[in-house]
Amino acid sequence: MMALQKGRYEVRTAETTAEIREAQRLRWLCFIGKRGGSDTPEAVDADDYDDRCTHVLIRETASGLLIACFRMLTLSGGHEIGDSYSARYYNLSRLREFDGKMVEIGRFCIHPEWHDPDILRLAWGALARHVDDEAVQMLFGCSSFMGTDTEGYADTFAMLRERHLAPKRWLPRVKAPKVFRFARALRLRKPDPRAAMAGMPPLLRSYLAMGGWVSDHAVVDNQLNTLHVFTGLEIRAIPPARAKLLRAAGA
């Protein structure tokens, strides 16, 4: 069981059905409620992967309020990549050759009314501890942009194309029926760095700062009203200074 307390927050893994439902409720607020979904006490975001994952909960210690969560699916190696949630949307056949334990991070969200950067830092600290304890060699998942307007993120996608595409040996191929092939569409666009960073989701920004990479296309997910890119991070690529900070956050 993961257990970590820092400042005003604590991180623990869900142990009961009620705690998992609490996470599903927060996910609904973040992914569906924010765009005007009809709210009822039963409104949750749930799928068939929830029973297979470890759910990580971040609470404010004083109130017990759940303010962030994510789920983890552990794979023993690349030969199991087809079992991941991401494989529903991306052709990940090249990653079958990855030799090492992998963890898929999914449904990461922070309560819409909370904007403390320490929450994301604590989440990464908890992940750093898990990576060390379980000898994980790669983290991966789908990094989401709010909305499906690709034009609104043109500079961000242009920067991803210019600086952060996956190495060819791991590059995901197209599988989803509706995608935005930004590496092709924006090959002549020079990104404005300020606009690019303004449009970059915080979680993806963290991945990239540690040496992460993305697919060359984004999936258009009309169900959740998002665009998402496959994101991978090989643990050995994390700069030593950054790794030291992460471990300190998880100590």
At 96 the pLDDT is 97
The one-character DSSP state at 38 is P
In terms of residue numbers, what domain contains 226?
3-249
**Does 1 score more than 80 pLDDT?**
no
With 90 as the cut, is the pLDDT of residue 207 above it?
Answer: yes
pLDDT at residue 37 is higher than 70: no
The confidence score (pLDDT) of residue 213 equals 98
Determine contact, residues 189/158, Cβ cutoff 8 Å.
yes
CA dihedral 117, 27, 54, 123 (to 10 degrees): 0
pLDDT score for 6: 85
Residues 86 and 94: their CA atoms lie apart, in Å, by 13
Residues contacting residue 231 through CB under 8 Å, at least 6 positions apart: 140, 141, 142, 143, 204, 207, 212, 213, 214, 215
Q: What is the mean pLDDT of residues 211-231?
A: 94
How many whole angstroms separate alpha carbon 73 and alpha carbon 244? 24
Q: How is residue 247 written in tokens?
A: 């471990």
CATH at residue 116? 3.40.630.30
Which spans in the chain are helix H? Answer: 17-31, 117-134, 154-163, 182-185, 193-198, 202-209, 240-249
Q: Which residue(s) pair with 54 in the sheet?
A: 72
For residue 103, the model assigns a pLDDT of 98
Residues 45-85: pLDDT tens digits? 999 999 999 999 999 999 999 999 999 999 999 999 999 99
Q: What is the mean pLDDT of residues 10-15?
A: 96
Whether residue 26 has pLDDT greater than 60: yes
- Look up residue 219 and give its DSSP letter: E
Mean pLDDT of 19-43: 84
Q: How many CA atoms lie within 13 A of 63 on its CB side?
A: 6
Cβ pair 81, 55 in contact under 8 A: no
Encode pLDDT of 82-102 as tens digits.
999 999 999 999 999 999 999
Number of domains in the chain: 1
Residues 59 and 51: beta-carbon distance below 8 Å: no
| pLDDT of 2 strictly over 80 | no
List, for residues 139-170, the tens digit of each pLDDT value.
Answer: 999 999 998 999 899 999 999 999 999 999 99
